[in-house]
Each structure stands twice: as C-alpha cells, then as structure tokens.
Structure 1
Amino acid sequence: MAEIVISEFITPEALALLEQHHSVHYDSTLWERDDDLAAVLRDARALIVRNKTQVGGGLIGAAARLEAVGRLGVGLDNIDVATCERRGIKVLPAHGANAAAVAEYVIGAALILLRGAFGATPRLTAGEWPREQLIGRQLEGKQLGLLGFGAIGQATAARARVFGMEIAAYDPGIPHDAPRWQTEARRMTFEELLETSDVLSLHLPLNEETRGALGGAALARMKPSAVLINTARGGIVDERALAAALRDGRLAGVALDVFETEPIDGGTGALFAGLENVLLTPHIAGVTEESNARVSDVTARNVLEVLASPDITA
C-alpha cells in the first residue's frame, strides 16, 4: 500500500521528489470517488489535496496511520482541522507559495474595473469610437482596502504601493502594535475600511466568523464608486446582495474568483448575467504555471519533513 496518497493535481517534479522517498498513489480524480479514496488511504501516512477533496472526520477516521495532510494551497475550509489536531495529524498549507499570483490577479482586476475600457474591442471593430464613454479612473491616489493582512494581503499591498495607492487594512488576528501597521498599512476597523476604500480586496479564511461578512448591510457601507475583489472564499460574500448592489448602481464593479457553490450553477450565473462591470473567473487567482510549481514543491517538502525523509535538499 502507498504511504502517500495524492487526490488532486500535483506537478510531475514534485511527484518525482515524493517518489524518491516513499511509495505514492497519485490520481488527480480520486477526490471524486469517496470510497476509493478511503480505501487507498487506509494504510497511508500522508494525504495531499487541493480544495476539492473533502477531508472530513469519516475519511480521517478511516486512515489509522495518517500523520500529515498536505494542502496544495492555503485555504483549509475543506479540511477538518479540529479532528486532525485531536489525532495529532499535521495540516500543512503551502503558506506564501501562491501569494504573488493572487496579488497580481488583484492588481490586474483593479486596473480593469477602474479603467473600464478593456472590453471595448467589439465596439471598435464594429466601427464605434466611444472615447468619452470609456474615460475611466487610475489606481494612483486611490485607497486599497485589504480585509485580511496576511502573506497574500501584504504581497498585494506591496504591488499596489508601486502604483501610488494608499494602503489600509483590517485584520483582527494581527496585534494592534505589530510593526506592519506602522510601515505597511493604515490600520482600520471593519466599518472604516468599507466606508473609505476605493478598491476592497478580500483575503480572509472562511469560518463561522467570516461567513456572510459581506452581506447587504456591509455592502451598503461601501462607496458607490468602489470596486470589490474576492479571491478568498465565496461564502464570505452574499452573492445575491452583491448582484443587487451592482444592478442598482450602489457599487461600481466586482471581480469574483470564488463562489459559494463551485462550479457555479445556473442560479448564480443568472445573478450576474448581463452586467458589464463584473469579472468572473473559475477559482484560478492563485493558479499559474509558476505558482503551481511553487505550491507543489513546498507541499511535497512539507510532507517529506513530517515523514522524516532523509536527504531532502533545499
């Protein structure tokens, strides 16, 4: 039986590294078959997943020898962390490995939404010249508000600063006297950040405290000229309230990379259909060729460290 089970995509290089030290069962579609996953995991020491595999109490209970769960990414809402902790199983997110990819996505989305001109190709090829209609706004001088100021929030702030943006953030998990509040961002309350930000970017985990945090009341606090970018988790935003705010002109634009239900269903799609100030992408903000390589390598090395494999080069 395999010591390491991988139920979603990992790069060939990272797979080869794992196979140098342990027997590996790799099937990128295994997450779709709960019974098969439980069967191959029965004697495994490690499981490596992305965000589709649901690592719940039943699956963990079926894996008597499990020592580690490697997460090819950073979100842990698909992993029963509490049960892992009780069992002494290490949960290993790839902290920071895809931060640059997400940060670039946020800046790119902000540029597109504020400028508002990059969807004009069909109109120009049809003979139109809507120059005055497409005069948009710049990032320079605008406030970037970050809900969550961990590694990805900080990477986003660093890039936004180059464009001349003012940086503000809310993160109750960071002590008020932490140095980053003095050098990297102005510390605000949740309400202040909503009310003052021109671009609001979400970088929070999904948990009981954050679920539905951006509902109708919170969205109503935002400037009508503001844009919202969510690359965190879909359940943080009330999608119905968000669509209503966009249609009523109470919000200038939105980029959503994550959704409460993934893949999105027809109902969710219908909420945003026909809106020109919306960018929807299929949970790929942190997924690039480069970040895939980093995330896979970091996760493989994290797992090997827990399993105490020798001769792992840095």
Structure 2
Amino acid sequence: MIKILANDGIDPIGKALLEKAGFVVDTETVPQDQLAEALKNYDGITVRSATKVRQELLDQVPNIKLIGRGGVGMDNIDVEYARSKGIAVVNTPAASSLSVAELVFAHLFTGVRFLQDANRKMPAEGATKFNALKKAYAKGIELRGKTIGIIGFGRIGRETATVALGLGMNVLAYDLFPFDGNLTLNLQGGIQVPIPVKTVSLDEVIANSDFISLHTPFADRPILGAEEFAKMKDGVAVVNCSRGGTIDEAALIAALDSGKVSFAGLDVFDNEPTPNEAILAHPKISLTPHIGAATNEAQERIGAELASLIIEHFNK
C-alpha cells in the first residue's frame, strides 16, 4: 500500500481522492529536522512552501518516489537533483492562478483608495479627526483606462491580464518567452470575448506602466531595483504576489519615501517568515502574509489536481 505524507496539508477533496484510489495519506506535519527519519515510512511527500526538500534530505530517503508541490513555485525543492535520482516532481501551476490574480487587484484597489492607511488610522482617529482623514484620502484614482505592466506572462500573469482587461485597463506584458495571441474574457451566460495581447520589451513595461505586477520565479538578483525604479513613471505603483527577492526592498522603500512610487502591495517578502520591520510599518504598503493561493476554491483545485498527478504516477 502506497503511503503519502502531505506535510503541509492537502485539501480534503484531494485526500479523499487519494484514499479512494487506495493510498494512505497522513496530514500531520513533521518538523523539518525530523523529516529524514519520518520519510523512511513513506513512498511520496507533498509540500507547499513551508517544507524544504533539499539534496541532503533526498540522500537519506532512497524509498521516496514522488514529490508533489501544491502550487506553482518549486524554489523549496531541489528539482533537478530529485529527478536525477529518478524521483518524480510534480506541481499544480494552473490551479491557483485566479486566486493570485484577484489578490493583485485587492492590493491595487487598496492602494488607489488608501485603504491600507485608512484601516490603520480610522480606529484610532476616526472619531476625533474624521474630516482631516476624509481630506487626506480624497484623491483616489480609478483603474479603468490605466496601464498595468505585467512582468512574467505565464499562467498567473495572463490571468492577471485577463482581470485587468475586464476592468477596462490597458495591458503591457513582458516574458522571456514572447506571447502573441488572444486572452479570453469569460462573461456571464457563457459569453467569451477574445482580446489580442502580445508581449513587449521589459524596458517598455517599466517605462510606460501606471502599475506594475510581478509574476516571475525567484531570480538571482532583484528584477526591480533602484535603476528600474528610476526609469518608471512618477507615481507608479508596484505589486508583488510572486516571490520574495524579486524586488530590492531597500530601493522600494527609498522610492516610496521620495514619492517616485505612490504605493506598493506585497504578499511576499525577503526573509520570510520574518519580513523587514521597515516594510511592515510603511504607511504606503498594503500587506498580506503570502496568501496568494489561499482561497477555498484554489485549495480544492490544487488538492484535486495534485491527487490526480500522484495517482497517475503510481498507477503507471
């Protein structure tokens, strides 16, 4: 009987699918320093972003035949080394796309209407400084007609673009792999509207966007640093729901303080799970604790897709 350790949890739908197929699924989290011993009793492991599956661990568990990542990025797994040892590594890149895209716009709507600051000050000052706060937050802007630049045009980047197009925004996109085709708006009643989109250069995205959203894997160096901020429009806003380390946080704070960047929305950070205090306290940053894929719908899709991949692998 095949045993799977879902060390960072799995949606009940995914667990039920695996059990129906005859798998044993354990969902109790094993601490990182105890994984090597625990995994000797399992054939596979599923993780999210918390558990690390590195070469050192893989060398101690020769019985492991599959690693499943519930989500997109696999920065916490030594993928190539695992595959070189004959271990299958699978993930669910499409399941969380809409949830992440909607969070991008939660941050954008928050920033253009100053909600991150209003939500801090209204409880403390709303009863005594109501009119002053009303005046302070009276210069919001609309998203319709503005240009969003999307850096990284994979599944999540395209989903973000689709939401933007539905709001009446213009889209500039960049990716290492050029795209020239249609994105489809799915409207009520089964109506589908194809809209042509093609990628442009990174410099064009940086220079001509009112808002910039990052959707790239982890990079060796920040994609947006002081040099890139200097090339942006005055008053640009930046959202990062992809990976920590893709924005130079010190350069971001400097750009926010100077007014070059009007606001930022961050779901990911350097040094997670202990982000920089200056980032956490900044009044122009909308903050969430790495919850891009954390919706009920996305977790159900992730669980079901991950279960299907595991079943398919072991039934070969």
TM-score range for the pair, normalised by the shorter chain length: 0.7 to 0.9
1:2 and 1:40 in contact (8 A); partners too = no
Q: SS of 1:48's equivalent?
A: strand
Match of 1:269 in 2: 277
Query: What residue number does 2:10 align with?
Result: 10
CA distance in 1, matches of 2:241, 2:46: 22
RMSD: 2.2
1:114 to 101, 112, 115: 112
Q: 1:133-176: per-residue Cα shift (whole Å, max 9, x none)? A: 322111011111100111111111111112110011000123x5
Q: 1:65 to 1:48 in 2, by over 3 A?
A: same
Q: Is the 8 A contact 2:116 2:285 kept in 1?
A: no
Q: Deviations over 1:93-135 (max 9, x none)?
A: 1121111111111112111212325743445433522444322
CA–CA separation in structure 1 for the residues paired with 2:231 and 2:197: 21
What letter corresponds to residue 296 of structure 1 in structure 2?
G
Structure 2 equivalent of residue 150 of structure 1: 154
Matches within 5 A, 1:194-209: 194-208=206-220
Residue 39 of structure 1 deviates from its aligned partner by 1.6
In structure 2, the residue matched to 1:97 is: 95
Counterpart for residue 129 of structure 1:
131
Distance in 2 between residues matched to 1:103 and 1:33, nearest whole Å = 31
1:259 corresponds to? 269
In 1, the alpha carbon distance for the partners of 2:115 and 2:270 equals: 29
Give the Cα separation in 1 of the matches to 2:232 and 2:273: 28
Q: How far apart, CA to CA, are the structure 2 residues paired with 1:6 and 1:202?
A: 29
Structure 2 residue 145 is matched with structure 1 residue 141: yes
Does the aligned pair in 1 maintain the 2:116–2:284 contact within 8 Å?
A: no
1:292 aligns to 2:299 (yes or no): yes
Structure 2, unmatched stretches of 5+, are 184-193
1:184: how far off?
4.1
Whether the 8 Å CA contact 1:139–1:165 is kept in 2: the answer is: yes
Equivalent residue number for residue 50 of structure 1? 48
Q: Distance in 2 between matches of 1:39 and 1:69?
A: 16
Q: Paired residue for 1:312?
A: none
Displacement after TM superposition at 1:183 (Å) = 4.3
Is contact 2:32-2:52 (8 Å) kept?
no
What aligned pairs does 1:164-179 form with structure 2 within 5 A after superposition?
Answer: 164-174=168-178, 178-179=180-181
Moved more, 64-73 or 130-139: 130-139
Match of 1:231 among 222, 225, 241: 241
Secondary structure of the corresponding residue to residue 105 of structure 1: helix
Q: Is contact 1:69-1:89 (8 Å) kept? A: yes
What is the alpha-carbon distance in structure 2 between the residues aligned to residue 153 and residue 180 of structure 1? 14
How many Å separate the matches in 1 of 2:90 and 2:174? 25
Could you tell which deviates more after superposition, 248-257 or 115-124? 115-124
The 1:39/1:77 distance shift into structure 2, 3 A limit, reads same
2:105 and 2:26 map into 1 onto residues whose CA distance is: 38
Identity level (%):
34
Deviations 1:256-288 (A, max 9, x none): 1001211124xx013452x32211111002211
Residues matched between the structures, number: 299
Structure 2 partner of 1:78 = 76
Pair 302,2 (structure 1): closer, same or farther in 2 beyond 3 Å? closer
| Alignment TM-score, normalising by the size of structure 1 | 0.88
Aligned counterpart, 2:204: 192
- Whichever residue aligns with residue 78 of structure 1, its letter is N
Structure 2: which amino acid aligns with 1:4? I
Residues 64-115 of structure 1: CA deviation (Å, up to 9, x unaligned) = 1322211111011001011022123222111211111111111121112123
Q: 1:304 aligns with which of 291, 308, 311?
A: 311
Runs of 4+ in 1 over 3 A off after TM superposition: 117-125, 130-133, 180-184
Residue 65 of structure 1 aligns with which residue?
A: 63
Equivalent residue for 1:217? 227
Q: Runs of 5+ in structure 1 lacking a partner?
A: 310-314
Structure 1 residue matching 2:172: 3-state secondary structure: strand
